[in-house]
Structure 1
Amino acid sequence: MIAEAIVSLFVLAGAFFGLTGSLGLARLPDFYMRLHGPTKATTLGVGGVLIASMLHFSLAGPGLSLHELLITLFLFVTAPVSAHLMARAGVRRGVDSSLTPPDEIRQESMEN
């Protein structure tokens, strides 16, 4: 019963973060702000659901279930890298944002 409660908490936390990240992706006003939804909240949401799955199948099955752990690790490594590359592509293409620094600062960051 305690294990089911822990798994349920991870599923609920994952669902909350997934919903928050999805709403952020849909509702935030510009490109750079929209990057935060999938890379931060949704990554935590998927991670929470995968950890719940790992706990459930490890406790219900004959041994440890490590497939979900590997998926979680790959997700936590690849999501920030892809967001960084998309942000750099947006800067290089000149995507405007109300939070984008002035042109002089942007030019300095592109040179480095």
Structure 2
Amino acid sequence: MIDVIVVVLILIGALLCLTAAIGLLRFRDVPTRLRAATKPQALGLLLICIAIALSLGTWQVAAFLLPVMLIQFATAPLSAHVVGRQAYRNGTIDEESLLVDELAEQKRADEAAAAE
């Protein structure tokens, strides 16, 4: 029974990682690519790590995989934030499509400082 659960978790995790890769290739703008890169990929890795822990069934494996998952969940949103902010500053994000624009004042202040 555990083997069936492991296979299902690995297949779902691999499918999520595949959809993340396809999303990076197919989506056109930065925010949707960032969403495709972070959300399904992190969940896919989580499911694959759970499947590995269930398959091997030892606490040592679970203790080894826990930091892997925590680092992934800490770095994926952080890197997406940094890439998104830089894309905004470069002007590659369509500012009219944003619902909330918290960086508009900062961008105007940076442009004014650069003009001086």
TM-score, structure 2 as length reference:
0.77
TM-score, structure 1 as length reference:
0.80
What is the CA-CA distance between 1:101 and the residue it aligns to? 3.4
Equivalences, count:
105
What is the aligned partner in structure 2 of residue 9 from structure 1? 8
What is the CA-CA distance between 1:43 and the residue it aligns to? 1.3
What is the aligned partner in structure 1 of residue 72 from structure 2? 75
Q: Extract unaligned runs of 5+ from structure 1.
A: none
Report the residue type matching 2:28 in the other structure.
P
How far apart in 1 are the matches of 2:28 and 2:41?
Answer: 18
* Identity in percent: 31
How far apart in 1 are the matches of 2:32 and 2:42?
Answer: 16
Q: Structure 1 residues 105 and 54 mapped into 2: Cα distance closer, same or farther (>3 Å)?
A: closer
Q: Extract unaligned runs of 5+ from structure 2.
A: 110-116
What is the aligned partner in structure 2 of residue 35 from structure 1? 34
Larger fraction in helix: 2
